[in-house]
Structure 1
Amino acid sequence: MKNVLKQWNRFSLVQQIIIGLIIGIIFALTIPDAGTPITIFGTLFVGALKAIAPLLVLFLVMAAISQHKKGQQTNMKSVITLYLLGTFAAAVVGVVASFLFPVSISLADPPEDTAAPGGLGEVLQTLLLNVVDNPVSALVNSNFIGILAWSVLFGLALRSAPDTTKTMIAGVSDAITKVITWVIKFAPLGIMGLVYQSISENGLSSLASYGQVLALLLGSMVFVALVVNPLIAFIYIRQNPYPLVFTCLKESGITAFFTRSSAANIPVNMKLSEKLGLNKDSYSVSIPLGATINMAGAAITISVLTLATVHTLNIEVNFVTALLLSVLAAISACGASGVAGGSLLLIPLASSLFGVPADVAMQVVGIGFIIGVVQDSTETALNSSTDVLFTAVAEFKDRRKAGEKISISNKTA
């Protein structure tokens, strides 16, 4: 057994997930009546994610806000504005794409009594009531909107706390992130159980819906990378942005695609920022910050998978309510975990806006891990490359205003 585990650990998580996916399909086709002995793995995996996700949101956001420092003379205001604008724009792209190309996904035992919101007023009322929910109750009942609101307030209150207290909060956040990495190590088994249950109940056609969702996700991310981000950059620097865009995609996006971690790609982005001749006082802060809050890919993932769930449950949503989802997706994306698949754990937050039960939302998280072999890599590549892009754009904008010549030719690539 020890040798088997040693051989298994030689495979990357992506390879392990692919193996789990294949085994799940084989079991579903050969022993469709096996039932619980196989589906239990998917149930346990979803249960573990459901249990740890509320704590993740609470401590991750709280730690990030409490650690913020004042008084640094940088162009961080412009960088943060670009981060938030880019993330919101990506969320809008995900929503618009979901309206133009609506897709559904196969869920095991979807509820039949899920009621659609009565309108924007009802959605806003539900949102406000969830915001002021008891923080302990919010944790117990997985009220992610309430958890997000209280974590922001606690984070702001802790900004004046002693450094030892902030260190303790950051340590707890790191510990929860570590636990999540342990849970994700069991993703191959969990995905095997989820795929088995989906195919044994719905047939192989259920896999087609995953392909449609993946195509919608990747198409939206490519559109943001090659159209939306360059447009934002052009508005700021008034020059052809594509040499800079392609440089960031080539030197940052490719490595991020394979590491699947914005945090792990920080050294690469720092080196690229130096190569671009940027101000170290700015990029030494903006690059690590971007790995936390600049999450265009995560915003797309949250928006698209949430609306796919809504379409599957036949919940009618008007465009104004979907625009509210864009805001919520952008905000929640800023708190996405730095581990692989971290944005998927925030889907229940967005789904709760439409009354989607946590159990159903966690099934969608499981589906996200199935398609995450490609989706999460592309998402991370978009997120990480945009960190450098917007850091450079903010500085080039200041240089343009100061009358300096901006050089963003292909020589940087």
Structure 2
Amino acid sequence: MERSKFWGNYGSSILLLLGIIVGSIVGVVLGEKAMILSPIGDIFLNLMFTIVVPMVFISISTAVGNMLNMKRLGKILGSLMAIFIGTGIVAAILIFVVVNIFPPAVGAKIVLNSGNMGTPSSAANLIVNSLTVNDFSGLFSRKNMLPIIIASIGFGFSVSVCGGEESPVGKLLNNMNNIIMKLVELIMKLAPIGLGAYFASLIGEFGPKLLGDYGRAMLIYYPTCILYAILAFPLYAYISGGKEGVSRMSKYILTPALTAFATQSSVATLPTNMAACKNIGVPKDVYEIVLPMGATMHMDGSVI
């Protein structure tokens, strides 16, 4: 019973970790020959990236469309912005302290090629291009995540006003949301093989470079990220849900963390974050709004 419960909680994470470890060993042993596995890893990543746009649009539209009280939406968005800014400041303070103690560029000789600067955009154009697209087809690209989020919130609000989850469109959205999450589960079954192959080709191609001038920076960056996760994540979970919050977070964080580490992409990690929050017990309307916005706007690793 205990073994079955343990495997049920951690089995997928263990398989994912084993896939990454085996892939890393293959990359080190085979070197550049490991790049033959690159198509397998790319196929998995492409599946993850492809599902992101419909998942974001449908999940946010469903969550907002199901809301009868728009004050809750305002509270979620307000809390979201405060937390994103607050945790970003904590990450920034941490890295300022670390790099002043361990300067990452000491002894590095990295030659940067010169390039031509394009025409700079005005602040107004940057805002317009960040928040909107000039054609509906632009909403089908993961490169335009903020416009997709804004459009999905607007669409969900309109569904809520026109009958909510009991309306024909509301029922369709809820059904499509269940279908999308089931599809994500199927894709994630390929994760140990896909990420293992991706890591093997990555290390095979860039391994020697990473041990050169970038090595010191990596030896500072990754331990700092781990330190931040060990210190800050339990604190955030405790503030959110007490000891039970810390326990649930610890139980389900490994798969999203490994996916983020392996893919280096917040967007590619979004499906695993959705599944983890569902298992943790985060309210559905909260994680379906917060996570897609977080994949674009809340990047403490990038701050570091």
Aligned to 1:334: none
Match of 2:82 among 81, 85, 89: 85
Alignment of 1:231-270 (within 5 A): 245=238, 248-260=241-253, 261-266=276-281
The reply on whether 1:303 has 2:302 as its aligned counterpart is no
CA distance in 1, matches of 2:117, 2:11: 41
Aligned to 1:240: none
Aligned to 1:69: 68
Match of 1:203 among 204, 207, 215: 207
How far 1:68 moved relative to its partner? 0.9
CA distance in 2, matches of 1:31, 1:79: 49
Q: Is the 8 A contact 1:38 1:193 kept in 2?
A: yes
Moved more, 79-88 or 160-169: 79-88
Q: Is the 8 A contact 1:64 1:155 kept in 2?
A: yes
SS in 2 for 1:32: helix
Q: Is the 8 A contact 1:138 1:147 kept in 2?
A: yes
Q: Is the 8 A contact 1:95 1:307 kept in 2?
A: yes
How far 1:219 moved relative to its partner? 3.6
Aligned to 1:131: 131
Q: Is the 8 A contact 2:9 2:251 kept in 1?
A: no
Q: Is the 8 A contact 1:44 1:190 kept in 2?
A: yes
Aligned to 1:29: 28
How far 1:50 moved relative to its partner? 2.0
The reply on whether 1:174 has 2:175 as its aligned counterpart is no
CA distance in 1, matches of 2:69, 2:245: 29
Normalized per residue, the structure richer in helix is: 2
Q: Is the 8 A contact 2:43 2:194 kept in 1?
A: yes
Alignment of 1:149-188 (within 5 A): 149-162=150-163, 163=166, 164-188=168-192
CA distance in 2, matches of 1:10, 1:80: 31
How far 1:142 moved relative to its partner? 3.5
Q: Is the 8 A contact 1:67 1:159 kept in 2?
A: yes
Q: CA 1:48–1:115 in 2, change beyond 3 Å: closer, same or farther?
A: farther
Aligned to 1:359: none
Q: CA 1:57–1:288 in 2, change beyond 3 Å: closer, same or farther?
A: closer
Letter in 2 for 1:264: N
Alignment of 1:326-345 (within 5 A): none
RMSD: 4.2
Q: Is the 8 A contact 2:58 2:177 kept in 1?
A: yes
Identity of aligned residues (%): 13
Q: Provide the aligned length of Structure 1 versus Structure 2.
A: 255
Q: Is the 8 A contact 1:90 1:299 kept in 2?
A: no
How far 1:166 moved relative to its partner? 1.0
The reply on whether 1:17 has 2:16 as its aligned counterpart is yes
SS in 2 for 1:201: helix
Gaps of 5+ in 1: 1-7, 105-111, 231-244, 270-286, 309-413
Q: CA 1:29–1:219 in 2, change beyond 3 Å: closer, same or farther?
A: closer
How far 1:117 moved relative to its partner? 9.1
Moved more, 246-255 or 40-49: 246-255
Q: CA 1:302–1:265 in 2, change beyond 3 Å: closer, same or farther?
A: same
Letter in 2 for 1:154: F
Letter in 2 for 1:86: I
Alignment of 1:107-118 (within 5 A): none
How far 1:253 moved relative to its partner? 1.5
Moved more, 195-204 or 88-97: 88-97
SS in 1 for 2:278: coil
> What's the TM-score, normalizing by structure 1?
0.50
Gaps of 5+ in 2: 1-6, 106-112, 254-275
Q: CA 1:81–1:138 in 2, change beyond 3 Å: closer, same or farther?
A: closer
How far 1:12 moved relative to its partner? 1.6
Q: Which runs of 4+ in 1 moved over 6 A?
A: 8-11, 75-80, 112-119, 207-211
CA distance in 1, matches of 2:289, 2:302: 20
How far 1:25 moved relative to its partner? 2.0
